[in-house]
Structure 1
Amino acid sequence: MEENFRMIAKCFFGFEEILENELRALGAQDVEKGVRMVSFKGDKGFMYKANLSLRTALKVLKPIYSFRANNEQALYKGISGVNWSKLLNANQTFVIDATVHSTYFNHSEFVSQKCKDAIVDQFRERTGQRPSIDKAFPDLRINVHIDKDQVSVALDTSGNSLHQRGYRTATNIAPINEVLAAGILLLSGWEGQSHFLDPMCGSGTFLAEAAMIACNIPANINRKEFAFEKWKDWDNDLFEQIINSLMKKTKEFHYTIKGFDKAPSAVNKAKDNIRNANLEDYVTIKEENFFDTEKEVEGKLHMVFNPPYDERLDIHMEEFYKNIGDTLKKSYPGTNAWFITANLEALKFVGLKPSRKIKLFNGSLEARLVKYEMYEGSKRTKFQVSE
């Protein structure tokens, strides 16, 4: 039997609880929520499964060693305490990603360099050969995290950030990160239990992520590779087995997923990306200006979108956000409408009272995810218009 070991899944601020729920649902053991991360236990098969399935994780790390160091000699000695030949051959390549929160070390580049020296010297002394550095496509990606004098060494099981799902080749001016999109959908309560609309769909990220959630398709099934595929203990048969078992758990979806965008170029890009993700059976995209549309479906509609909020775009923001509120009020009864914006000033012009406001970050921008409940009939006018 494979041994269980501890792993750390990194995430965006505000997504810790959803990631914790995702891990529990997948069957992770000993799950503990932290800040921008969740730690858990599982075996090698679960490590593969977590990378394939997690929608809100940016990376999955496998901690292998920790020690204390308050100067460069102690750091060098600590890194030398790992038997690197168990993880790497002398003819292979590696890279070190260092994160430093410490008064003893103030440069992550310096820390990376010192750690690299310790690894290379160990190989040279033992074999006369040395592995080399490859920043783009290393065989082993090592993560070194220093907090005060506590040094944690982990292997990066994922490689490139897990938001790089593999289906998005074409993007618009301000595309939303795939992990951020999936997290917003999960925060909004989207599970595929109603019709779905993204009225400003851009390159189609919300549409793809919404379809994958609704059908329980693993988030990273279209990804070209994971870092663990280059490891010494890589087990291709086990990986195939995990993929097959995940694909057996996909489900039918009985509603519609639609996207509008008024830019023909965005519509074409979105269609390309949906095709790349093999989701054309679930998603339709039309060239429409949201402000000229009305609700097309019976029953509940779940709406999630990412309106423009960059002042550099040629849009009068106050008027634009007022139009969002007017369109929802006039044309979309029976709709739960969610959107994210970093333009907190323009948000005031929507003219509706949000029933929820969640603080998130889109890159470095502080943003709000807001929810507007558009009721059917008279209740709508009674509660929705802000004073």
Structure 2
Amino acid sequence: MYTLLVKTLSGFEQLLVDDIREYGGEILSVQKRSVICKGDHRLVVDVNVRSGVTVFVYILLEKFTAASKEHYVRNVSKIPFQNFVKTHQTFAVKSDVFQCPWIDNSMYASLLLKDAIADVQRKTSGSRSNVNVENPDVEFYQYIYRDSVSIYINTSGQPLYKRGYKTLSAKAPVNEVLAHGILRLSKYNQNTPFVNPFCGSGTFISEAVMMRKKQYPNSYRQHFSFSNFSWESFDTYWKNLLNSVPQNTPLSDVEIYGIDNDYTAIKNAQKTLEKIAEGCKVRIERADFFQWKSPVDKAFLLMNVPYNQRLKIDSKAFFTKLGDTLKKNYSGSECWILSAGKEHTRHMGLKSSQTIPLYNGQLPVFLQQFHIY
């Protein structure tokens, strides 16, 4: 059994807990943007492949206390790193350090761990691995809080919002993990026409398509770091898992619409959806949403509106026009808006029934629900 540190985005912790429990994992603790749990190699693969709200999955290798640098070096040198990274493989180290009395620099902490790994390899095999910061075969992560040290190995590799199906992004993107989590928080109704104004490169639509087709969020991803591990049969279970997915899932006839005025964004969305949306009724159109003639009266609308950060807008004019458009064309619909906050959406003249604080990257944003009457 492994103890896992599973990272997610702020606001998605309960969604991640639900996923881990569904896969048979035991929840040990829930923290800000992460969950500590316990399970076997199948849970490691399941959380990487099946959970759409996971960013990284780490396996705990060792946990100890260290009152000094010397104490740290003695303890970390006892870890059998030769079992986790072979000398022909490359490795990298990342660290987070908080309130530690004997070290306050995460880069120096990473250097200490890197040297310890190399020393263990030399003692056991006479040689050591090279370091590759950009694309390592194996990545170690350490978390130091005061005198508590936890050493992990990264089973995901690249962050899991890199699904493997996307080409290029438009301006002001929403990453795939954020889009997936928002669809779940909004309890996306797959039996209602889905309208995604300002769709950009189609991230919300892509994740909605994956949900409709009952495909695992990371089923298009070609590589996870656990494939580089020789000490457990992660790969075998991964391949069996992908082969177990039904290939001919009956699909709803309900249509999905994406609208954006940006030519490049629309082309990127269309290219992505050519790859993953076979069998789904998806229409991507280059149009001004305020002028677009909707083919449906009632819909489930979800939009990521400009935050007036990278994409500059006249906030009052934009949201007033948005509110007028929704009230005129979408009476009886449900609308979810991801925005920079209530000070912007209040100009819509609609009352939100729910507000959920989230982050888009480092930017605080708010997901609001509106029932349009």
Other-structure match for 1:334: 332
Indicate yes or no: 2:257 matched with 1:252.
no
Q: CA deviation at 1:314?
A: 4.5
Q: Number of aligned pairs?
A: 371
Q: What displacement does 1:27 show?
A: 3.2
Cα RMSD, aligned residues only: 1.9
Which residue is 2:140 aligned to?
A: 142
Q: Does structure 2 retain, via aligned residues, the 8 Å contact 1:9–1:60?
A: yes
Partners in 2 of 1:5 and 1:93 — Cα distance? 23
Q: How does 1:116-265 map to 2 (within 5 A)?
A: 116-233=114-231, 235=233, 236-247=235-246, 252-265=251-264
Per-residue deviation, 1:97: 1.1
User: Aligned partners of 1:34, 1:245: CA distance in 2, in Å?
Assistant: 32
1:242-285 per-residue CA deviation (whole Å, 9 max, x = no partner) reads 11123469553331111111222221111012123355734221
State the one-letter code of the partner of 1:352: L
Aligned pair in 2 of structure 1 residues 234, 225: CA closer, same or farther (>3 Å)? farther
Q: Helix, strand or coil: the match of 1:135?
A: coil
Q: Could you say what secondary structure the match of 2:352 adopts?
A: coil
- Cα deviation, residue 192, structure 1: 1.9
| Contact kept in structure 1, 2:258 and 2:285, CA below 8 Å | yes
- Most deviating of 36-45 and 135-144: 36-45
One-letter identity of the residue aligned with 2:291: D
Query: Matched residues in 2 for 1:28 and 1:323: separation?
Result: 47
User: Which letter maps to 1:87?
Assistant: F
Separation (CA, whole Å) in 2 of partners of 1:31 and 1:325:
44
Q: Find the counterpart in structure 1 of residue 299 from structure 2.
A: 301
Letter in 2 for 1:207: I
Asked whether the equivalents of residues 98 and 144 of structure 2 are also in contact (C-alpha less than 8 Å), the reply is: yes
* Counterpart Cα distance in 1 of 2:265 and 2:169: 8
Query: 1:55 and 1:118, CA in 2 relative to 1: closer, same or farther beyond 3 A?
Result: same
Specify the SS of the correspondent of 2:300: strand
Q: 2-side partners of 1:76 and 1:251: how far apart?
A: 57
**In structure 2, the residue corresponding to 1:46 is in which secondary structure?**
helix
The alpha-carbon deviation at position 87 of structure 1 amounts to 1.3
Give, in angstroms, the shift of residue 160 of structure 1: 0.6
CA distance in 2, matches of 1:250, 1:118: 50
**Compared CA separation, residues 31 and 281, structure 1 to 2 (3 A):** farther
Q: Please identify, of 356-365 and 19-28, the stretch whose mean Cα deviation from structure 2 is larger.
A: 19-28
| Counterpart secondary structure, 2:222 | coil
CA distance in 2, matches of 1:36, 1:313: 27
1:303–1:335 Cα contact (<8 Å) kept: yes
Is 1:276 the counterpart of 2:271? The answer is no
TM-score, structure 1 normalization: 0.90
**Distance apart, 1:294 and its partner CA:** 4.6
Aligned pair in 2 of structure 1 residues 145, 123: CA closer, same or farther (>3 Å)?
same
Residues 358 and 368 in structure 1, CA contact (< 8 A), matched pair in contact too: yes
- Cα deviation 1:319-367 (Å, max 9, x = unaligned): 0111111111111012110011125432221221101111111111111
TM-score (norm 2): 0.94
**Unpaired segments of 5 or more residues in structure 1?**
375-379, 381-387
SS across alignment from 1:7: strand
Match of 1:10 among 1, 7, 11: 7
Partner of residue 384, structure 1: none
Structure 2: runs of 5+ lacking an equivalent: none
Percent identity of equivalent pairs: 31
